[in-house]
């Protein structure tokens, strides 16, 4: 099975799990301590996210051909120069079991408006009907 077929199967799996509602995280090494702490305190979504992030890191090292940066044409050939961040797409359900991961190079990860650039690229390449919803406000606030 080629890479495109694997991507389409993964998207179909995530789409059926979350019925088209996805959680998209841009995770960098700075996020890992908070995720570990949250998981240790019983946050199952943080635990699932860590599990999927670690699996993505393992898979990226094995990928043939090498992975490309999500937002540019950088090729991750050198294992000594890992991605600066990983975009993780997870079904927005209580117990997700599939994800899609895409690396970001250092140049792209450090640019302004990263979230909107990632969303635009996903819309162009993977999720044409993607709509980014605003973060919910605190309870009791309008």
On whether residue 57 sits in a domain, the answer given is yes
pLDDT of residue 110: 93
What is the chain's pLDDT, residue by residue, as a tens digit (142 residues)? 666 677 677 666 666 665 667 778 899 999 999 999 999 999 988 898 899 899 888 888 888 888 889 999 999 887 778 899 999 887 776 666 677 889 999 999 999 889 889 989 988 887 777 777 776 665 555 5
- Residue 141 · residue 103 · CB < 8 Å: no
The CA distance from 131 to 44, in Å, is: 25
pLDDT of residue 136: 65
Number of domains the chain contains: 1
On whether residue 85 sits in a domain, the answer given is yes
On whether residue 112 sits in a domain, the answer given is yes
pLDDT of residue 97: 67
Domain containing 24: what range? 3-125
Q: DSSP H helical segments within 29-100, as ranges?
A: 32-40, 44-62
pLDDT of residue 78: 73
Query: Cβ-count burial of 56 within 10 angstroms (0-12 exposed, 13-18 middle, 19+ buried)?
Result: buried
């Amino acid at each position: 099975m080629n890479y495109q077929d694997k991507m389409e199967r993964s998207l179909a799996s995530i789409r059926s799990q979350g019925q088209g509602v996805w959680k998209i995280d841009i995770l960098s090494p700075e996020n890992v301590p908070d995720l570990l702490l949250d998981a240790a305190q019983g946050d199952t979504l943080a635990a699932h996210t860590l599990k999927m992030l670690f699996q993505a890191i393992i898979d990226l090292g094995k990928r043939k051909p090498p992975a490309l940066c999500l937002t540019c044409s950088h090729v991750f050939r050198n294992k000594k120069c890992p991605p600066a961040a990983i975009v993780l797409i997870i079904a927005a359900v209580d117990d997700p079991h599939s994800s899609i991961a895409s690396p970001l190079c250092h140049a792209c990860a450090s640019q302004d408006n990263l979230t909107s650039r990632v969303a635009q690229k996903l819309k162009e390449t993977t999720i044409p009907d993607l709509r980014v919803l605003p973060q919910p406000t605190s309870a009791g606030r309008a």
